[in-house]
A and B are shown apart, each in its own frame.
Chain A
Amino acid sequence: MSKIEDWIEKNTFHHSQFFDQKELLKQKEKTGLTISLCIPTLNEEVTIGKEIVILRSELMERYPLVDEIAVIDSGSTDKTLEVAAAFGADTYFAGDILPEEGHKRGKGENLWKAIHQLKGDIICYVDADIKNIHPRFVYGLVAPLLYREEISYVKAFYDRPLAFSQGIRPSGGGRVTEILVRPLFSLFYPELTGLIQPLSGEYAVRRHVLERLPFPIGYGVETSHILDVYKEWGMEAFGQTDLDQRVHRNQETLSLGKMSFGILQSFLGRMEKMGMEGQLPEMHNILRQFQANDQHYEQVCHEIIEEERRPMIEVEGYRKKMGY
């Protein structure tokens, strides 16, 4: 078994492993850790109410697995904060947190300021646009941290359906993951291809790791986290949990372009910091994708060698034929 396969085997979970929340609560009490849930928002009044109701009822009232639920908002112009507060969430405008640091608009800003505002030893981030919200989105991510001390950063992955006007169709990873991030990781950091959906917006992280990470405020936050955690704590610090389906708004191609641009900036910036600028390391020629067999995930490796031909004008036979 290769190193990556070994990691996938040991550090990939399925939310159903942790469905017994009573047991999970006992484990939480055993560790003495506290857990905060952060929902970053910007104009999410349509979905935020349900998300708060479900998560509060299931994770605070029924089994007090989560110690606080906070909505951190970038400056919504709709009723996001009003709805969230009506259902009992703590609500904050990111600009009011650490005002001396100024206010920047972006999801990463909210995530970063949450570290200062929230009290938990573990912070779980869950996006606000999940239509099929379920408590598994939280306990599935937090549980590996409660059971495995060496894991510090747990990412979600999904059998992600994209909502279309005709209904719902299943899909693999996100489009930006498959056409940008996975090829980049395959080229430069093959171990990181073990992460099935590196860009997913849901993850649970230990405070001592979070407080040591820089936060791009835009699209690059997930990518840069992965590279920084990998560099500092290695692959063993990661875990990932299959949360089954996540139904969310589908993004337009133009938005995906912006996202890719932000991710590339973060990625290349990290390469520079790691001293890889100008002297590219050996690029691997195996592209690693995934296929799922029930709850077993295996990598499918494709050797892709992009061979290149010189300009025809440099070819002797051609020059001869053409009388050059």
Chain B
Amino acid sequence: MPIDLKNLLDAMPELSAQLQELREILLANAVMFGEIPSPTYGEGGRVRFMQDRLIEAGCLNVSTDEVGNAVGIHPGQSSSASHILLVSHLDTPFSNSVDHTVKVHTNDMEGPGILDNSLGLAAIASLPSILEKLGIKLQSNLVLMGSSRSLGRGDIEGIRFFLERNLLPIRAGIVVEGGTLGRLSYSSLGMHRGVVTVNLPHNYDFSRFGATGAIPVLNRIVTQILGIPIPREPATSIILGSLDGGTTYNTVAELAQLRFEIRSEQVGMVGEISDQIDEICDEVGASTGMEITHEQVARRHNGGIAYGHPMVKTARGILESLDIKARPAPTTGELAALIEKEIPGITLGLTKGNRRHQFDEQVEIEPMFTGLAQLIVMLQAIDGGLCDVED
């Protein structure tokens, strides 16, 4: 029987209620992922856990690769099946030494990384068991993936590596994030993540006029970056993320660093601003005698599928029927890698949450089941061909 979106939407309240019955599976996985520290480049513990869960659930080809992704295939019914990729990133900004205990209260859970992205991982790892318990059978194979090296310098290396080498034809991809329910990303922002480093050269002349070490020089660069004209439309921003320099009170700093990110919805804008920052560094370096470098640590290009793409339309329809306001927002996450490979994809959020990237990150329990129902219906719609572009 052909799949009909209306039927799927009508069944959603019932699906959400059934998912509530199975909540321990999701909550327990979220706690267990959350309590495994997983800093970028140190995701090994979560990779093993993800693999264990996928193996136990009867997934095929459960494996990891050189960059530390965890991947398995939940087989579909059709022998000539297409593949739908579901991915969440494995890494968090928290180091191994942080207390990763997750607290479970009646209505919410809290702990470092629980929102971004232990809950997303838990949803993917729980999906085979949940689909089995609900008796939902898809024609397509689901490629379930925890991707490594996503954040910061990781530069979504995990999913890029996978998509570069993967031989499976991927029909569509869904990036699953803990927050926020209603989120709908279908395009990638142009982004440049950079580090400006000011170094005192060995032969630095302290007697030279204005010679005060690395910090004031970096300050001068910061001031000039803030003077770069930024268009309001299309939305563009420069985020000055962190400053670091020197060692103590009374010694001239030999090294200072600025970490920043440029984001823009306008094609080419990020490159233009990055070039201007290069020029600022060159000019300040020449006039101060400092060694100044500007290193790019991550880059995304603008792109994505259209607002009217059947996949986005279906996702909007699902949110609308749940009475949740869709919050379209471009992303710099895993979706960007799908876009680079021209695979239609979206990013969805599962629940409400707060204090992202704080030690007491929090997720609400109740909306998770609506979020999960949204994800399952989206999968059924893709599986049933409702999100394909007609030729």
- Do they bind each other? yes
Which residues of A approach B to under 8 Å, CB–CB?
Answer: 46-47, 49-50, 53-54, 56-58, 60-62, 79, 82-83, 86-88, 131-132, 134, 167, 247
> Is the contact region of chain A dominated by helix, strand, or loop, or is it mixed?
helix
Contact A83 B24, beta carbon cutoff 8 Å: no
Complex Cα spacing A56 to B32, Å: 13
Kindly specify which of B84-92, B103-111, B135-143, B291-299 makes contact with the partner chain: B103-111
Contact A62 B129, beta carbon cutoff 8 Å: yes
Contact A87 B24, beta carbon cutoff 8 Å: yes
Complex Cα spacing A167 to B129, Å: 37
Contact residues in B for A87 (Cβ distance below 8 Å)? 24, 104
Contact residues in B for A131 (Cβ distance below 8 Å)? 101
Question: How many residues does chain B have at the interface if contact means C-beta atoms less than 8 Å apart?
Answer: 18
- Which chain A residue lies CB-closest to B24? A57
| Distance from A114 Cβ to chain B, minimum over Cβ atoms (Å) | 22
Contact residues in A for B103 (Cβ distance below 8 Å)? 46-47, 49-50
Which residues of B approach A to under 8 Å, CB–CB?
Answer: 22, 24-25, 27-29, 31-32, 35, 56, 97, 101-106, 129
| Distance from A129 Cβ to chain B, minimum over Cβ atoms (Å) | 12
Complex Cα spacing A79 to B105, Å: 10
Complex Cα spacing A56 to B101, Å: 19
Complex Cα spacing A56 to B29, Å: 12
Contact B105 A83, beta carbon cutoff 8 Å: yes
Q: When A and B form their complex, which 5 residue pairs have the shortest distance between CB atoms, in order from nearest?
A: A57-B28, A57-B24, A49-B104, A50-B104, A86-B106
Q: A88-B24, A247-B101 are in contact. List 19 more A-B contacts (CB 8 A).
A: A46-B103, A49-B103, A49-B106, A50-B104, A53-B104, A54-B28, A54-B31, A56-B24, A57-B24, A57-B29, A62-B25, A62-B56, A79-B106, A82-B106, A83-B105, A86-B106, A87-B24, A87-B104, A131-B101
Complex A-B: 18 CB contacts under 8 Å: A46-B103, A49-B104, A49-B105, A53-B24, A53-B27, A53-B28, A54-B32, A57-B29, A58-B28, A61-B24, A62-B56, A62-B129, A79-B106, A83-B105, A83-B106, A86-B106, A134-B32, A167-B97
Q: A62-B129, A132-B101 are in contact. Are A50 and B31 (CB under 8 A)?
A: yes
| Distance from B216 Cβ to chain A, minimum over Cβ atoms (Å) | 36
Complex Cα spacing A49 to B35, Å: 15
- Which chain B residue lies CB-closest to A86? B106
Contact residues in A for B106 (Cβ distance below 8 Å)? 49, 79, 82-83, 86
Contact residues in A for B32 (Cβ distance below 8 Å)? 54, 134
Complex Cα spacing A56 to B27, Å: 11
Contact residues in B for A60 (Cβ distance below 8 Å)? 24
Contact B25 A57, beta carbon cutoff 8 Å: yes
- Which chain B residue lies CB-closest to A133? B31
Contact residues in A for B101 (Cβ distance below 8 Å)? 131-132, 247
Contact residues in A for B24 (Cβ distance below 8 Å)? 53, 56-57, 60-61, 87-88
